[in-house]
A and B are shown apart, each in its own frame.
Chain A
Amino acid sequence: MSSNHKRLSMGGRIDREQPVEFTFDGRKLIGYRGDTLASALLANGVTLVGRSFKYHRPRGIFSAGPEEPNALVTLATAGRRQPNLPATTLELADGMVAESQNRWPSLAFDVQSANGLLAPFLSAGFYYKTFMGPTRRAWMFYEHFIRKAAGLGRADTDLDSDRYDISHAFADVAIIGGGPAGLSAARAAAAAGARVALIEQDFLLGGQLLAEPSDSAAAAWLRQAEAELESSEPVTLMKRTTAFGIYDGNVIGLVEQCDPGNPLLAGEARQTFTMLRVRSIVFATGAIERPMVFSNNDRPGVMLASAARTYLNRFAVLPGKKIIVGTGNDGAWRAAFDLADAGAEVTIADVRAAPPTALATEAGRLGVMVRVATRVVDVRRGHAVRRATLNGPDGQSEAACDLVCVSGGWSPTVHLTSHLGVKPEYRDDIGGFVPGAFAADRFGAGSMMGIYSTTDAIEDGHRAGTAAASFCGKSAPVPAPSKLDLGETATVPFREIPSLGRGKAFVDFQMDVTTGDIELAHREGYESVEHLKRYTTLGMGTEQGKTSNFAALAAMAALRNATIPETGATTFRPPYTPVAIGALAGRAIGHHFKPIRRTPMHDWHMANGAEMLEVGLWMRPYFYRQSGLDVNDAYVAEMRNVRQAAGLMDISTLGKIDVQGPDAAIFLDRIYANGFAKLPVGRARYGVMLRDDGIVFDDGTTTRLAENRFFMTTSTAKAADVLSRLEFLLDTAWPDLRVTVTSVSDEWAAMSVAGPKSRAILSAAFPALDVSDAALAHMGLLESEWQGRALRILRLSYSGERAYEIYVGATAGQQLWSRLLEAGGPLDLKPYGVEALGALRVEKGHVAGPEIDGRTTLDDLGLGRMAGKRAGFVGDLLRRRPAFQAPDRQRLVGLECIEEGKRLRGGAILFLPGEKPYGHGRGRVTSVTFSPERGHYVGLALLAGDVASEGSEVVAVYPMKAETVRARIVSPVFLDPQGERLHG
């Protein structure tokens, strides 16, 4: 058959000058710019487009919009697969490669359509009844086969090669929907002086007006509205953009598709996720036509009447030559007339006994046959309908046809308004749900409010747009809207009756839910809509039951003999249409997954063999490859060098806080468990902060720079929390204290020189400075300048060795680092990484993050004497709670491995010798290291106080590796308990 044989030679909104090549299941086809994939397939006579989810029934194109339940395809081109895309929303693009889904070996011959024969076993609740309880194990066996048989498209497991953007946008008024109501609202709001964002999911504005002939008055109205909005300064037109969710604070989630007509440049995004923040919203989301429920109503060739009209008038495709239009309302007659006008032979089967005479007259004029009090009850043939069974006053009869158009009335699109909890309300006069009461900054307009005539929708949009602008304080005079009367007549939809045919009658096409399933759910007691939904999977498909919802509710209401409001509606949640995960991630992927912090010496580390480690957001040297082949070799070598000569460590990641003010000392006295008021100027002190509940919060060193000024350091991990906490206390608890705290973490490059040769190295590096013990004692401070930047040298030790922390302005960090290595080279100064740093502190028995884990108190960590008898500091009262004094409270101990060739592991659970290793044990190992000093593994542990006597043994069990090792309880200070090395 010739290409585009169903395409009309004239009309439509396609560009016949721009042919577009695409393939479907390997077949090369041609469409035009302005087509969707669905319209191009129809134009080429392709009616079988996919297989259904469960029964593998043949399916065609049912709708012309995002409500499409059947025609889901996978787009597959080199390096990318996007499954489950409705062909009805895919703008046709040159080179598009589409595949049908859920079929094998081919779409036309699918072996699993035999599932249709097994249908009795695949009804609602089948999985639950078959595989729960004693037969649950069977599920494990069958799951693989069942999952393979049922399903949709296959996702790709490769990295998504497309790029996505996240963007922030702002407006006064968002108008969601570019149909007659939305366009009218946008014109009014813009005229009133508001900044307007008009959001339209389609690549053309117009909504239902696009179903009107392209040479009609509607088309002229649309052209004028579009031209006006395009030239209007305060209006942003966002086409190809779906509002997928409405969030608190009037934030709207949008996904914009790129224009497939313009090839993407390198790095350009395929989709943009925009967070649009507005002050008021007009919902002009339109309405979705309902299917009719009859036997085999899912067959290819059954289509919504409005969709058939859209394919005809917008895409110039005549989808059938011999058409039956089944309906119960006036709207579908307009489709019938247009189809007849285009040359099709049309029969209307209207369930009403007496449709309006004016319509009947027009039908007569166009040669459309009308059968009243008649409904479609069945259609025949698998891949395309050939005949339909009609049931009328004279009984059943068959009629030949190649297309059955259906219209069960309309459902307002209330998904988005439901996202923030506005319950839809049933309106009897329109037979549908409309949004319940809106908040003051939200407005609805047009058919989503049940206003179905174009004239009224334009008026309503005008009203809503004016009100939404006025809510934002924009009330310039607004000219009256330009009118458009399409002469529609409003009608109440009819109520469905149970299917008269013998085949399956579907309510949810995508999830393969039939009226039989609804009956079964009802019979088994799943009557509430929420139960019904979960029992039958109704509305759980990718289109969230946009076409199925109402038919199912109506069916359940009928079974329960209840009204529709009594039966209720399920809750709609974001997203309105599926959103690619990639769009939500935007550019925050790969190395931009999170921001990375680099120290001033980062480049040196990278150039000098450092293996880097992510610590929070920071990149830190883990170890240096020159020290050893792997981390275990390297850290021991780096430790030895610190203990025997000296090591240089980048400690720029420490949190640093400038504390200033006349009351700074009083403030520090309150926030630290140990006192700071009497700390002399020029001296540093180790301090521990508690939380209000008496648990240790953080530790660090604070130095008094001047009477009113202190320099605080915090752990790397807690820097932000500590600063926030200090600000909290100053703002809320003690606003009378004249103190301010400022993060200066980025201000200073910090490095530690540790080891017996450290003083000699400092002397060599800073020949002009006096770093003798007399001038710079342990816990002392020396302030100076280096290369024009401020310099602070603190004599502090974390490793247990004589050590100095050197702070210099960040811009000079790398220079000073190099200077120290140069000066210290002859004295064996070598850099070391965080693994060695951690090991050195374990050997010295200093607690860190693994011990200060948000559960331990000062007493638990053996630091109780720091607080002594002080009172009035944060956490003071609650740290003395009786429960914290229990004899079996876990306390800090040291452990040494006493089994030759074995090791301790952090996280191991501690038991007494002979105890069954079961449950939480008596404690746990928190930190371990190999100790070059001791020649075996040592560790810190938290162990129940009633069994923690030094010298006795415990068993450390590490179930992850099935290891059990004996250890002896010792003092946590494994090295130099007298602290002689600090001064050595």
Chain B
Amino acid sequence: MLRIECPCCGLRDHDEFRYGGDASVTRPAHDDPDPEAWYRYVYVRANPAGLHREFWQHVIGCRQWLVVERDTRNHAIASVELARQLSARKSPARKPPA
């Protein structure tokens, strides 16, 4: 049984989580008009034998979406991070209201 260390809740059984697909692909901006970018995002996958970045949600728990690095050969988990923290790093921080 895969067990995932949720950054909020600790080590939990995989049946508390929902798998959310490949986290190594970049989602285009919501208004990106390039069909090619959306095609790559939706369909093109690397399928590595080794470390794979993937989304998991601790759905029966804190409901946070996580980015998990899992080795597809032996299920060893190298890292788990909150997806929100990763995506916030990429997009500019919002200024607190005055």
A interface, CB within 8 angstroms of B: 247-251, 275, 277, 420-421, 670, 692-693, 720, 724, 727-728, 731-736, 738, 871-874, 877-878, 880-881
Contact = CB atoms under 8 A, between A and B. Distances in A.
Given A248-B1, A249-B1, A732-B55, A872 B30 contact: yes
Contact of B31 (A277, A871, A881): A871
21 contacts: A248-B2, A248-B3, A249-B75, A250-B3, A251-B1, A693-B42, A720-B59, A724-B18, A724-B59, A727-B57, A731-B64, A731-B65, A731-B87, A732-B23, A732-B83, A732-B87, A733-B27, A735-B88, A736-B88, A878-B38, A878-B42
Given A251-B3, A728-B57, A880-B35, 15 more contacts: A249-B3, A277-B13, A420-B74, A692-B42, A693-B43, A720-B59, A728-B20, A731-B82, A731-B87, A732-B87, A734-B30, A735-B88, A871-B31, A874-B30, A877-B33
B39 A878 contact: yes
Interface in B31-67: 31-35, 38-39, 41-43, 55, 57, 59, 63-65
Contacts of A670: 30
Contacts of A877: 32-35, 38
A871 B38 CA distance: 14
Given A732-B83, A738-B94, A871-B31, A727 B63 contact: yes
A872 B34 CA distance: 11
B32 to A, nearest CB: 8
B1 A736 contact: no
Nearest to A662: B97
A130 B93 CA distance: 74
A731 B38 contact: no
Given A248-B3, A728-B55, A738-B94, A872 B65 contact: no
A277 B57 contact: no
Contacts, number: 82
A799 B31 CA distance: 36
Contacts of B92: 736
Contacts of B75: 248-249
Interface string B15-29: 000101001000100
A713 to B, nearest CB: 20
A736 B2 contact: no
A733 B87 contact: yes
Contacts of B43: 693
A250 B31 CA distance: 45
A733 B29 CA distance: 8
A736 B57 contact: no
A874 B42 CA distance: 12
Interface of B is mostly: mixed
A428 to B, nearest CB: 29
A878 B41 CA distance: 11
Contacts of B27: 732-733
Interface in B1-19: 1-3, 11, 13-14, 18
A682 B97 CA distance: 28
Contacts of A248: 1-3, 75
Sort chain B's interface into a size bin: 35 or more
Contacts of B1: 247-249, 251, 275
Interface of B: 1-3, 11, 13-14, 18, 20, 23, 27, 30-35, 38-39, 41-43, 55, 57, 59, 63-65, 74-75, 82-84, 87-88, 91-92, 94
A249 B92 CA distance: 37
A275 B15 CA distance: 13
A724 B64 CA distance: 10
B38 A421 contact: no
Contacts of B41: 692
Contacts of B14: 249
Contacts of B38: 692, 877-878
B35 A878 contact: yes
Nearest to B37: A877
A720 B2 CA distance: 22
A693 B42 CA distance: 7
A731 B66 CA distance: 9
A251 B41 CA distance: 35
A250 B75 CA distance: 11
B2 A249 contact: yes
Contacts of A728: 20, 55, 57, 65
A720 B57 CA distance: 12
Contacts of B11: 249
B61 to A, nearest CB: 12
A727 B65 contact: yes
Contacts of A693: 42-43
B97 to A, nearest CB: 9
B15 to A, nearest CB: 11
A421 B75 CA distance: 12
A832 B38 CA distance: 45
5 closest A-B pairs by beta carbon, nearest first, are A249-B3, A872-B31, A731-B65, A251-B1, A877-B38
Contacts of A692: 38, 41-42
A736 B94 contact: yes
Nearest to A693: B42
Contacts of A247: 1
A738 B84 CA distance: 13
Nearest to B92: A736
Contacts of A250: 3
Contacts of B34: 877
A871 B65 contact: no
A568 to B, nearest CB: 20
A662 to B, nearest CB: 9
Contacts of A727: 57, 63, 65
A591 to B, nearest CB: 21
Contacts of B2: 248-249
Contact of B84 (A421, A731, A871): A731
A670 B94 CA distance: 20
A163 B65 CA distance: 38
A736 B77 CA distance: 29
Contacts of B83: 731-732
A421 B55 contact: no
Given A727-B57, A733-B87, A734-B30, A421 B20 contact: no
B3 A277 contact: yes
A650 to B, nearest CB: 26
Given A247-B1, A249-B3, A724 B57 contact: yes
B38 to A, nearest CB: 4
Contacts of B35: 877-878, 880-881
B98 to A, nearest CB: 14
A635 B84 CA distance: 48
A715 B11 CA distance: 33
B16 to A, nearest CB: 12
A369 B31 CA distance: 93
Contacts of A720: 59
A172 to B, nearest CB: 13
B71 to A, nearest CB: 11
Contacts of A871: 31, 33
Nearest to B38: A877
Contacts of A277: 3, 13
A558 B57 CA distance: 54
A531 B38 CA distance: 47
A733 B30 contact: yes
A65 to B, nearest CB: 28
B87 to A, nearest CB: 5
A693 B32 CA distance: 14
B64 A736 contact: no
Nearest to A251: B1
A878 B28 CA distance: 12
A735 B57 contact: no
A279 to B, nearest CB: 9
A2 to B, nearest CB: 53
Contacts of A249: 1-3, 11, 13-14, 75
Contact of B65 (A275, A732, A738, A878): A732
A733 B23 CA distance: 11
A672 to B, nearest CB: 12
